[in-house]
Amino acid sequence: MVRTFGITRDHDIEMSMTDDPFLERLVAELVELRRDLHAHPEIAFEERRTSDLVAKRLRAMGFEVDVGLAGTGVVGTLSSGEGRTLGLRADMDALELSESTGLPHASRYAGRMHACGHDGHTAMLLGAAQYLAEQGGFRGTAHFIFQPAEENLAGGKRMVDEGLFERFPMEAVFGLHNRPGMEAGLMGVRAGPVMASADFFELRLTGVGGHAAYPHTARDPIVVAAQIIGAWQTLISRRTDPLESGVLSVTRIQGGHTTNVIPAEVTLAGTVRAFREEVRSGLEMGMRRMAEAIAVAHGVEAVLSYERRYCATVNSEPQVQWALAAMERTVGPQRVCRDLPRTMGAEDFGWMLERCPGAYGTIGNGTEGAHGRPLHNPDYDFNDGIIPIGVRYWVSLVRQLLPVRS
């Protein structure tokens, strides 16, 4: 039969599904939960209210609950007999951004909002946890990973570094993220790199300041900075294989304070993105070599600080096929993209995939209104209409990979 869930959304998503009154009741509760999380956003490593709420709900469902990984992380474990072990991950943190949606459930905290949909990701995974705890239908163990600090601070890496996979061994790990601009309820995944690495740099140039009328008495770091910026772009256009992908963006330039003084110091900062480690390493080495050489030529000192904060998110082929099968059972083969376009955005789920095979998939958030606004936009909102789809995907994945055998 066809059911809708009475939620305002573009084109009123309709789901073909078997009669499931439990899921229908559960979705209404999850929508309320998601909007509560949205109204109370917490930024990286400060997700105490969210973490406590997640842990309390999991305990009420009968889960074995572990708290404290990466500070505010939560891992809930549900076992049903002997069998394989899987990990399912959702992120919990919000962004330092002021919300402009004007919605009834808008953020109550100035300068903080759920502008990436982590409130929805948390609600969907909690829904799947409750569904499986009460309805069963699988044999094995599932670890439900609620991760802090995906935004900017790589909480996923910290969970891994603090022993996630040693304490909770698993055969595969899976993630799911919403995508605005993609029709609501469409799903997709692909093998290989799906999101880029993200490195952050700061270059400090120190010369000799002086009067702007007598530039020959100074060693101008502004001129040096301009030459370095131009030279760096050739690392993409002339030093990187055109069939590969790379991004080098200078996003901040600071130097000087008035119009008639050449400053002694200029700082450049920005980000570097790539899918392959060879490209990533080549860009870092090239940046350092060019900056130092140009600076020396002008008698200016160059100090480059370079941080490799996010590795590329690389999906494993077998796990992608498992995810595709679960997606097709959830929304139908015609609504699944098997060759999802890659993006130069970054995601710290890549650190989990470096240690454990898995797949990171996408669910369409919609194309209209707040649901179609880009991520990290003050007018964005997660689409409550896709919550039942996310729940059914997680449940389908667990039951498919942890089947009950007679």
Residue 9 has pLDDT above 90, yes or no: no
Q: What is the pLDDT of residues 144-173, one digit of tens each?
A: 999 999 998 999 999 999 999 999 999 999
Q: Sorting pLDDT into bands at 50, 70 and 90, what band is 406?
A: low
Residue 382 has pLDDT above 80, yes or no: yes
pLDDT at position 6, please?
A: 31
* From-to residues of CATH 3.30.70.360 in the chain: 197-310
Degrees, nearest 5: CA angle 172-319-192? 115
Given 3.60.21.10, 3.40.50.11610, 3.30.70.360, 3.10.105.10, which CATH number is that of 197-310?
Answer: 3.30.70.360
Quickly state the pLDDT bin for 19 (edges 50, 70, 90).
low
Count of residues in the chain: 406
Q: What is the pLDDT of residues 321-371, one digit of tens each?
A: 999 999 999 999 999 999 899 999 999 999 999 999 999 999 999 999 999
Residue 1 pLDDT grade (very low, low, confident, very high; cuts 50, 70, 90): very low
Listed in order, strand segments (DSSP E) in 84-168 are: 85-91, 140-147
Judge whether residue 7 has pLDDT over 60. no
For the domain covering 2-194+312-401, report its CATH number.
3.40.630.10
The burial class, CB within 10 Å (0-12 / 13-18 / 19+), for 92 is: buried
Q: Give 342's DSSP letter.
A: P
Residue ranges matching CATH 3.40.630.10 in the chain? 2-194+312-401
Both tokens of 5, joined, read 């869930």
Looking at the predicted structure, is the pLDDT value of residue 405 above 90? no
The whole-number pLDDT of residue 20 equals 84
| pLDDT tens digits, one per residue of 33-77 | 999 999 999 999 999 999 999 999 999 999 999 999 999 999 999
Question: Strand order of the sheet with strand 197-206?
Answer: 246-255, 265-274, 197-206, 301-310
Instruction: Tell me how far apart the alpha carbons of residues 235 and 282 are, in angstroms, rounded to a whole number.
Output: 8
Q: Are 42 and 49 in contact (CB under 8 A)?
A: yes
Pick from 97, 103, 149, 110: nearest CA to 377: 97
In which band, very low, low, confident or very high, does the pLDDT at 17 lie, cut at 50, 70 and 90? very low
- What would the two tokens of residue 258 be? 């008035």
Q: What is the pTM of this model?
A: 0.90
